[in-house]
Amino acid sequence: LTITVAQDGSGDFASVSEAVLAVPYDCRAEIHIGPGTYREKLVCEKRCITLRGAGADKTKLVWGDGGKLPHKDGRPTHTFRSYTAFFSGETLCVEDMTIENDAGPGAKAGQAVAAYVDSTRAVFRRVKLLGSQDTLFCAPLPEKEREKDGFLGPRGLAPRRPTAQYYRHCQIAGDIDFIFGGADALFEQCTIRTVNNHLPVSYVTAPSGRADGLGFVFWDCDFVSDDCPAGTVFLGRPWRPTGKTAVLDCRLGAHIAPEGFSGWNDRTDTCLARFAESGSSGPGARQRPDWVAAPSAADAAALLARARKLCRP
C-alpha cells in the first residue's frame, strides 16, 4: 500500500496523521510525504510502515509540547507525553525528513521529546531529530519510575520489550540527555549536535538498558557544537545504573569534557554502567578516567560487528 501526503491537496491526504490512521494495522504501507511544515502531534502504531519525506530540509513534522507545560488533564505534560511523534508497532522506517520539538529550552519548557521510538525494529535514514532536552527517546522505559507520574504517557504500564534501532546519516540535536532510553541502538555516520542553552554542563546520552544489552553504539560520528564552551559537554551519563554508551572512531569537538563521561547527579553506582571509547580524534579526544573502558581495535571492531548484526535491517 502506497499513500501520498501533500499540503496543497494533490495527494491522498493533506496531513501525516490522517494518512497513518488510514493504514490498516496489518498492512505493509509506505507513506510519501511532500514538502512543507506539518504542525502535527503524530501517533503511529502500525505493524510495518515507512514514512518517506522529500528531504530533511523540505519535509518537517513539528510540535511544541514540553514536560513543564500544562496538559489538558490539569497536570503537567511530563516527559513522555511531550513527543512530537510516537512510533510503535513491529517495523518502522523513517527517511528524508525532520522531526522537531520546538517547545524550547528545558528551563522554560521542561523535557520536550521530538521522537519517542518504541517499534520493535526501527530504522532512521537522513533524518533530522531536533529539540533541546530529551530530543530522542529510544524505548523501552526503565522498569520503575523514580518519581510520581515520571512515566506518565505511552507504554507506562505496559511490559517492557526490547527494541533494536538503527540511525544512519542522521542529525540529532539537543542539550541535556538528548539521546536516552533502554534500546539497543547503533548510530552510524551521524552528526550529534549539542546546542547551547546557557547551561553550565550538558550531556549527550542517558542510557538505561539492561546489563546484558548492547546499549548505544556510535560509529564514525561527528560530535559537534557551534556555541557550547570548551569542555562542558559529556558524552553520556547513566540514567539507570546499567546503562551503556560506546563511542567508536568518532570525531569530537572541543566542547566535549575532558572526562568524557559522567555519573548521574549524586548517585554512587556509576561503576555498574559501561562506558567505552576507542579511536576518537579531534580536540575533544583525551585520556579518560580508568572507569571508562578503552577497548583495543580488535575489541572495538567486534563490538561494532555485534551492533550491526543486532540493529541493522
Residues acting as catalytic residues: 134, 177
Rounded distance between C-alpha atoms, residue 180 and residue 215, angstroms: 10
CA atoms within 13 A on the CB side of 23: 26
Rounded distance between C-alpha atoms, residue 290 and residue 47, angstroms: 44
How far from chain centre, in Å, is Cα 116? Answer: 8
